[in-house]
Amino acid sequence: MIAEATVGHGVLIFDDTGFAKQGKHAVGVARQYAGTRGKVGNGQVAVTCCYNDPQASWPGAVRLSLPREWAEEPERWRRARVPAAVPFQTKPQIALALLDQARAWGVPHRCVVADADYGDNPTFLVGVEARGARYVAAVRADFAGRPKRHGTPLRQRADQVLAALRRCPWRTIRWRQGAKGWLRQKCGAVRAGRITAEGEAHIGWLLGERAARGQAEEYKYYWSNLPASTSVETLVD
């Protein structure tokens, strides 16, 4: 059953952002990858939770991510005045804590959305599912799935599953008008099972995105636990 907190017009978007920073004494600073820089560098990284709907978008919550190396140096932790009660958490674990906070605040939302750093993390997906929330999360091409078709291998990569789709299920969908016209891509979706570490298959949607006519070819993949009755247009939205 989907909790009442997941009912609303907007979505909660989970991501992380980096802040370039020199030195080694500021809380959480380390050499680490940050999407805002697109490379590894010295700085801090924070996990963010933003609310978005067709009319507005605003930040909901943010929490600094402390690298594992900080947790392994208690004296450094103490000198930076990090409270002793603050545990080490991975970014997916922090995102789940922010989801709990948003729900405690009563932020209405119909879906959780995240990039592949979260979608490819079983801890995050299992945590969202355990909270009874719907989600659409980006995944990488090697995401393990099990298509609901006879005569196919039990375990396949996301790109293999979607490559087997006939040409006709891929259709161009527009979802928002930008400064240079409508944003559009060819999209296709198939019901499949998400393979867990225990070999279980959690049924959901595997969604693919590829270039429309006149665009440079690029493939993207998403996993969702939205119901079987969900249209491709709704998944894209």
Q: For residues 188 and 201, state if they share a domain.
A: yes
Shared domain check, 168 and 103: no
**Positions in the chain short of pLDDT 50:** 1-7
DSSP characters over the chain: ---GGG-SS-EEEEEEEEEE--SS-STT-EEEEETTTTEEEEEEEEEEEEEE-SS-EEEEEEEEEPPHHHHT-HHHHHHTT--TTPPP--HHHHHHHHHHHHHHTT---SEEEE-HHHHT-HHHHHHHHHTT--EEEEE-TT-EEEESSTTS-SSEEHHHHHHTS-STT-EEEEEEEETTEEEEEEEEEEEEEEEPTTS-EEEEEEEEEE--TTS----EEEEE---TT--HHHHH-
Which pLDDT value is given to residue 163? Answer: 83
Supply the pLDDT for residue 152: 59
Same domain, 166 and 104: no
Are residues 42 and 94 part of one domain?
Answer: yes
Closest CA to 97 of 123, 69, 70: 123
Q: Are residues 145 and 133 in the same domain?
A: no
- List Cβ neighbours of 174 (8 Å cut-off, separation of 6 or more): 182, 183, 184
Q: Are residues 75 and 184 in the same domain?
A: no
- Indicate the number of domains in the chain: 2
Do 109 and 155 lie in a common domain?
A: no
pLDDT at position 113 is 96
Residue 124 token pair: 């995050």
Q: Which of 138, 165, 191 is the last residue of a domain?
A: 138
Q: What is the model's pLDDT at position 3?
A: 40
For 227, the domain range is: 140-237
Give 203's strand partners.
193
Q: Are residues 89 and 172 in the same domain?
A: no
- Residue 19 is predicted with a pLDDT of 87
80 φ, ψ to 5°? -80, 0
On whether both 113 and 59 belong to a single domain, the answer is yes
Q: Where residue 52 sits, what CATH number does that domain have?
A: 3.30.420
194 and 155 share a domain? yes
Q: Are residues 14 and 57 in the same domain?
A: yes
* Residue that finishes a domain, picked among 138, 164, 192: 138
State whether 151 and 130 are in the same domain.
no
Proportion of the chain above pLDDT 90, given as a percent: 37
Task: Supply the pLDDT for residue 2.
Answer: 36
Among residues 88, 110, 138, which one ends one of the domains?
Answer: 138
